[in-house]
Chain A
Amino acid sequence: MTVINRLSTRRRGDEEVVERIPDWMPRNAADWLAMAFMVAIGMLTIMPIVWVMTTSLRTPAESFTVPPEWLPEDLYFGNYLQVFDEIPFVYQMGNSFFVTLSTVVGQLTTATLAGYTFARLYFPGRDALFWVVLATLMIPYQATLIPLFVIISKVFGLADTLWSLILPALPTAFGTFLLRQYFLQIPVEYEEAAMMDGANQFQIFRRVYLPMVAPGMAILAVLAFNGKWNDFLTPLIFMNTTSRFPITLGINDLQRYMMTGSISVVLAAIVMATLPVVIVYIFGQRYLIEGLMVGGLKG
């Protein structure tokens, strides 16, 4: 569909020249339609973000206008400097990275193993257990927050530690479900071939299946990273000490007592806190797309 049909022949003078059409170039009406749709959605999604960036480079008095000012002029970096004066930004970013990366690694492990079980390993009661796991997604988090905090602080004594944010996030019903679907999509023939060859069940998991769900793992990694990075309610309840806050709480602190903090400073902090996530995503995307391509060709 994509990778093929990228060559076109064109007559130049007497000879016929074969040219490669650039990857981004639409070739037919359907391509043009797709392009128009992509550009339209792209514009709509990026406009608010541009406004956030522009406003973070001005004072509120200059930025709350109708229509909004989309392009920054006379860049004012004072908001950015002020963030460092007000909160331990570097520390809190460090906390966020530690918590988020630990959670992502943990979720990838637990979800891959559990997802594989639910897709390919059979034992009595397995399907009932799958529904129990899925059901945990269906109860509002807000209703279990206080009991969870009581357990974290009384039973484990972990309140106000970064572990209190990591441990409860390690089991993931969403991730388990996601990877189960990926495992299910892999034709059983691969497994049968390996079994003929005398591989045991762990080897089949490790060498046959695991490489083929890389795209699913990449997707889970991106979504888990993002979800944990933006988590606000849990740290709000669990954490007390400013230097141990993740950056989401730090940003809230910038609103200050009586909400008298400058919105532009808040937005400056958001831009800085989002940048690493965007970078992670851009780099992650390379693996994601490579993984998806590999998975796609195999599927």
Chain B
Amino acid sequence: MASEATLGSGRRNWLPAWLAGDTVQGIRRQRMVLGVLFLLPTLIGLILFVLGPIVVAVAMGFMKWNVFRPPEFVALKNFARLFRHDLVGNSFGNTFVMMAMTVGMLEVFAIALALSVHRFARSRLAYFFRTVWFLPVLLSGVSVAVTLSYMFHTDFGVVNYYLGVLGIDKVPWLVSSDVVRFSVSLATVWRNLGFTFIIYLGGVSALPQEILEAATVDGARGLKRLWLITLPLLSPTILFATVIDVIRLLQFFDEPYVMTRGGPGDSSRTAVMMVYDTAFANLEFGYASSISVVLFLIILAVTGFQFLLSKRWVFYQ
């Protein structure tokens, strides 16, 4: 960090009087001006490329549109249909179940990995493992489709082959409607662990050593220290990672799409797959938009709830 003695020296007269840093008013004004300036790039970009399309998409939720003909206003018909549509309800249910399983496994594994590797932090071994765990995140598209479906195939699959070596019967990973949500969640954990891990790695590395050492001296060890000291200190990162993972996984698409296309039947169909198929296979863009709007509201509610709850367990220094 820059030496504090040099900070700002001789610059006081450089700013106009109303922004002068020696009054509380001036500081407040500085912060406001800077805040607005700093937000501008993000705001302009979001308005043009994100909020604009979102407004159109939300508006489409009240229309009937198949691309070929101009949109037609239908008021709340799409929403009325959606609440009667079993398939939509089912896909939201699947999304929640798979999100819960996946986020649960992701957070536990990622925290455990981050804490484990931190024990060997500067060694080449840690370097090697951090790279290995991140590899599946780096893979894209076809290779994920090819490898995931190869791993989990009932008859040709790698997983069942090695289970067979251990004397375990073939598991119908992707063809049993009871098992498929778990298999897809497992595959998603495989693909995304590196992503969540790296977020926790940041959090774990930023843990204040003084406090941890003091705790050790005071006799907090093992699980007790983990539960009473380490995890609370890590709580801002846990909040961030779970919020992001919940938002991402309520929009679950890639892994179930390449592995099962939502099957067998509809047992692994997710809300976003419903949106995608409704729009691009059934050509009902208005209806697809209305499903997105409902999904959006649900995610918003869940995230708001997480933040509310966080006041009770997240600990900022």
Contacts and interface: CB of A to CB of B under 8 A. Distances in A.
A–B proximity contact (CB within 8 A): yes
B41 A109 contact: yes
B236 A185 contact: yes
B39 A114 contact: yes
Contacts, number: 366
A222 B2 CA distance: 26
Interface stretch (B72-80, B83-91, B132-140, B174-182): B132-140
Contacts of B285: 146
Nearest to B138: A277
Interface string A160-202: 0000000110111110111001101101001001110111111
B106 to A, nearest CB: 12
A248 B49 contact: no
B39 A117 contact: yes
Nearest to B295: A140
Contact of A52 (B19, B45, B143, B156): B143
Given A45-B132, A51-B150, A200 B15 contact: yes
A274 B139 contact: yes
B308 interface: no
Contact of A143 (B36, B150, B289, B316): B289
Given A173-B46, A174-B244, A296-B207, A229 B140 contact: yes
A257 interface: no
A289 B126 CA distance: 10
> How many B residues touch the partner, as a band?
35 or more
B142 A266 contact: yes
Contacts of B148: 48
Interface in B120-140: 120-127, 129-140
Interface in B154-212: 156, 158, 161-162, 190, 193-195, 198-199, 201-202, 205-209, 212
B218 interface: no
Interface stretch (A9-17, A36-44, A72-80, A81-89): A36-44
Contacts of B205: 215, 289, 292-293, 295-296
Nearest to B41: A110
B98 interface: no
Given A113-B38, A263-B146, 4 more contacts: A111-B42, A171-B42, A200-B11, A278-B135
10 contacts: A2-B121, A48-B151, A122-B35, A138-B300, A139-B295, A168-B48, A185-B317, A198-B8, A216-B202, A281-B134
Interface of B: 1-2, 4-5, 7-9, 11-12, 15, 19, 21-22, 27-28, 30-32, 34-39, 41-46, 48-54, 56-57, 60, 67, 109, 112-113, 115-127, 129-143, 146-148, 150-151, 156, 158, 161-162, 190, 193-195, 198-199, 201-202, 205-209, 212-213, 222, 236-237, 239-240, 243-244, 247, 250-251, 253, 271-272, 275-276, 279-280, 285, 288-289, 292-293, 295-296, 299-300, 303, 316-317
Which A-B residue pairs are the 9 nearest by beta carbons? A171-B45, A23-B123, A199-B8, A34-B116, A292-B205, A121-B35, A230-B140, A147-B56, A144-B53
